[in-house]
Structures are given as C-alpha cells and as structure tokens.
Amino acid sequence: MTTEEIIARGVPEHVGIIMDGNGRWAKNRGLARTAGHKEGLTSAKKIVAAAAKLGIKYVTLYTFSTENWKRAQEEVGFLMNLIRGHLRAEFEFYKKNGIRVSHIGDLAGLPEDVQKEIINAKKDTENFTGTTCILAINYGSRDEIVRGVKKIIESNTKAEDVTEDLITASLDTENAPAVDLLIRTGGEQRLSNFMLWQCAYAEFVFTDTLWPDYNEEEFFKDIEKFQLRNRRFGGVPNQ
C-alpha cells in the first residue's frame, strides 16, 4: 500500500511507541548495550520522519523510564549523553520535517544540563506545525498520575469537581489526545508503566522485531493493522 493510500484510509492521531530491544540487538551482535541504544536513536529518527510523512499529529517515544535509573551507572550515563547530544544536534532534522518537540516525565529529576537541552529543544521547535514528537524521559505513568493528583489537591479542588477531564488536564500530556495506537517492539507484551491513563482505549500492536531493526515499512504495516481494527470504545455498533 502506498503512502497516499494509507493516508486516505485515515491514520491514528496519536501513536505511542515502547522502543524495546536495543540491548538484545547489541548482545546478538557481540556489542555493548550502548551500541544498541545508539542504533535505536537512528531508528527513532526514521520512524518519527515516517510519522510526519503520514501526517500523524502526535508520536510519543518511551525514551527513559523512571525505572531505568536502576540500570548500570555506565549505561544510564550513556543514555543521558545520548539524549543531551541528540537534542542539541538535531534541530535541522526537526526543521526539515516540521517536528515540534515536547516532553513528558519528571523534568526536575533529570540532570540540569539535560533539563536545559529539553527546554531549549521545546522552545526552538514550538512554532513547527507538523508532527509533535513527545519524548517520555524520566517518565513513569504511575509517577505522572501521582504528580497530577498532587496538582489537583494543591489547587483546593472540591471532590465533587474532580472529573476525568480534570485528571487528564493535570497529566504531563495535557492537551495531547489519548493514544490511538500503541506499538511495542522487542517481543514483550506489556505496558511497562507507559501512559496507563492515555492508553485506556488504545489499539495494541506487538512485534518481535527489535527496535534497531524496526523500519518505515514495518511501521506502515502496523498503521494498516490499526486501520483494520473495529474501535467500539465500549459501545455496540449500529445500536
């Protein structure tokens, strides 16, 4: 199916991606895990560009979770450097593809220089009108919900005024729509604390492909799978 045919059938507004398998990809090649993360960054750029080509409005990439701090210090340090360097060096990539950078997660829990790079990337791309690439860095959905509840409590909101819309607005994603399609690479079939609230009615696609090997062709096929789903949102069609 051509790009034009995929677009004509309707694409998801928001795609969330759990980019799993970097470490195993490297291990299979006798390389350090860090080599897998570096190659995974290349895949991320390809997929975000492909999403922009299809006119998908939001792509959220699970980049670094609140649980990833448990990994070896060397690997964590490499990931922080990779994030820092990517945000600093890729402005032309964002500009060429009209990509606006956003962030979800506990920003204050990141190193100050990484915080600065995230803030600068958001500011530098805020006027781009294509795909919004949401980077989930130091992100965990439970942590996000706890922080959101604290915001509501601190605003002295009455219990009877708490609604789903209010909770949604208190989360890091704020005005971004709910996730329509959740893709997880690497063979595992779980959410791993990723966008639990936002994925309430997402369609899930799991693939055994390790993230560094995931490409535009497979991404387009996963979009086609989404287009074949019958999304009922708890209702019954034609009733």
Spatial CB neighbours of 196, under 8 Å, sequence gap ≥ 6? 141, 142, 145
Buried residues in 158-184 as b, exposed as e (16+ CB within 10 A): eeeeeeeeeebebbbbeebebbbbbbb
3-class secondary-structure state, position 135: strand
Residue 130 in contact with residue 99, Cβ under 8 Å? Answer: yes
Q: Using the structure block, give the residue that is written with the tokens 């600065």.
A: 116
3-class secondary-structure state, position 118: helix
- Whether 20 is a known active-site residue: answer yes
Give which of 160, 156, 177 is closest to 168, Cα–Cα. 177
CA–CA distance, 53 with 43 (Å, rounded to integer): 15
**Which entry of 28, 68, 97, 213 is annotated as an active-site residue?**
68
The first and second tokens of residue 220, run together, are 């387009």
- Whether 213 is a known active-site residue: answer no
Beta bridge mates, 15: 59, 181
End-to-end CA distance of the chain: 33
3-class secondary-structure state, position 157: coil
CA–CA distance, 183 with 113 (Å, rounded to integer): 30
Active site residues: 20, 68
